[in-house]
Structure 1
Amino acid sequence: MKICVLDNDVIDPEVAPTYTSYGAMFERLLGAAGAHDWSFDRFDTMQGQYPASFDDYDAVLLTGSRADSFSQAPWVLALRAQVVLLLQARKKLLGICFGHQLIALCMGAKVGRAPQGWGTGRMTYQWHNHPLSQPQDRTEISLLASHQDQVLELPEGATLLASNAFCPVAAFVVEQHVLCVQPHPEFVEDYSAFLLGKRRALLGEALYIRSIDSLALGHDGAQMARMMVAFVEGT
């Protein structure tokens, strides 16, 4: 499998030596989840980098970003134009956080600020029945979140995968060609803690403490990664 990674942000220089980029974090995550024979090409969309053609890729992965998917920034507008074409071509797409929101927006769904404010730390979602590799006896999935925007309605033609009261559209799938997830399966606890620390004043002490404490409970990022691998491989 050959994967095009559209990397939509730059990691803080303080932790870049450890994590490199969001695209690199996904390469490590998916490799550990069974994507041993996959190859990845990363493109910095903020710098206008794209492959000459998407035809050679089995799937395109859109990472998270601190930017708004509904921004009028030139690089975001250019990315949305690319995603519209990819959707029309029914290219297999994986969208995470910002990528999840941007794909939904390109499908005509409403995306905006979460009315409840920031979603941070470990969050648990109801998992709705769907023939991915989530064990059938599990009704919940817990992942690490970091977002102030979210998808406000399920895109037309999509099937809801995960939801909770805070984020009603936490994950969705469109047939065999789109899989989108609001929280971050690629995050590890230390990286989430770093982001929380950077935003401590913005979040307020109560939310910061609650979010930091939640990281000790573990998460299902590896399980979500296995579902992503199965989705791309069609198994």
Structure 2
Amino acid sequence: MRIAILMTNTDESAFSQQHPKDGEKWKALLAPKRPGWAFTVYSVKDGKFPKNESNYDGWIVTGSPASVHDDAPWIARLLDLITCIEASGKPLFGACFGHQAIALALGGEVGQNPDGWVLGSVEVEATARPPWMEARRFWQYGAHIEQVTKLPKGAEIVLRHEGCPVGGFRIADHVFTTQNHPEMTHDFIAALVEELASEKPADVIEKARASLPLSADNGLFSDCIIRFFEHERAA
């Protein structure tokens, strides 16, 4: 299977340079379980987009500290690409910014979380059970202050957690999203919390630090993503 990873992370800080790029994080999550898959990373935040969408069997839109509402040409271009991918019926997965971008591109809405930042490990409930999901509850790492506030037409909520009613959604069997970060390792989220400690409210950082021993079920959720991409779809 040929997967295109649309890399949206705009963080070019010294902290970011010390850690693997998002494309590498996604490869590390999925490639060990599917060594035969081919992953191609496009740094869309730098204006680098695939020239031929038909070359790929599936798509991943990554997370980013950018907002989907930012006035940046690459975001508008990404939203247009998302609409084309969705229309093709090929599997499209999005995480955090990617989840929000897919929602916005397809007619949903994204706004500020009224409860403020979600940071650290969060317990996620599966509100629906598409064929590629088995667990009813699991843990994921979160890092967001914006979230989907209105679903696109035809979408169904499949995940939620405290302060985030739309923690993930599906459209038929070809779109699947999560507001959180299955690609983040424990070491990375722990380092990120400390990196943000001087910028975010003290109570947010305290809660995030306290949540980290709960870890995240990345292995379980990577299985969900793989099953989503491999799910047999009608021609």
Question: Which TM bucket (shorter chain)?
Answer: over 0.9
CA distance in 2, matches of 1:17, 1:125: 29
Kindly provide the amino acid, as one letter, of the partner of residue 17 in structure 2: A
* Moved >6 Å (runs of 4+): none
CA gap of 1:60–1:22, structure 2 versus 1, over 3 A, is same
Equivalent residue, structure 1, for 2:162: 165
* 1:115-153 deviation line (CA, Å, top 9, x unaligned): 111110001121123133443xx4312100001111012
Kindly provide the amino acid, as one letter, of the partner of residue 16 in structure 1: Q
1:63 lines up with 2:23 in the alignment: no
Q: Once the 2 structures are TM-superposed, how far is the Cα of residue 61 of structure 1 from its aligned partner? A: 0.6
CA distance in 2, matches of 1:116, 1:81: 31
CA distance in 2, matches of 1:126, 1:22: 25
Equivalent residue, structure 1, for 2:201: 204
* 1:175-226 deviation line (CA, Å, top 9, x unaligned): 1211111000011111112221222133222221220121111211111111
- Consecutive unaligned residues of structure 1, counting only runs of 5 or more, are none
Counting only pairs closer than 5 Å after superposition, residues 74-223 of structure 1 correspond to structure 2 as 74-135=73-134, 138-223=135-220
CA distance in 2, matches of 1:106, 1:66: 18
CA distance in 2, matches of 1:222, 1:10: 26
CA distance in 2, matches of 1:131, 1:114: 26
Equivalent residue, structure 1, for 2:29: 29
Counting only pairs closer than 5 Å after superposition, residues 45-56 of structure 1 correspond to structure 2 as 45-56=44-55
* Stretch moving more, 39-48 or 195-204: 195-204
CA distance in 1, matches of 2:70, 2:42: 20
- Contact 2:30/2:222 (CA < 8 Å) preserved in 1? yes
* Stretch moving more, 152-161 or 114-123: 152-161
Local SS of the residue matching 1:202: coil
Query: Aligned match of 2:230 in 215, 218, 233?
Result: 233
Identity across matched positions, percent: 28
- Contact 2:115/2:163 (CA < 8 Å) preserved in 1? yes
- Contact 1:83/1:106 (CA < 8 Å) preserved in 2? yes
- Contact 2:123/2:161 (CA < 8 Å) preserved in 1? yes
Alignment: residue pair count: 231
RMSD: 1.6
Local SS of the residue matching 2:152: coil
Q: TM-score, normalised by structure 1?
A: 0.92
- Consecutive unaligned residues of structure 2, counting only runs of 5 or more, are none
Q: TM-score, normalised by structure 2?
A: 0.92
CA distance in 2, matches of 1:150, 1:14: 25
- Contact 2:10/2:66 (CA < 8 Å) preserved in 1? no
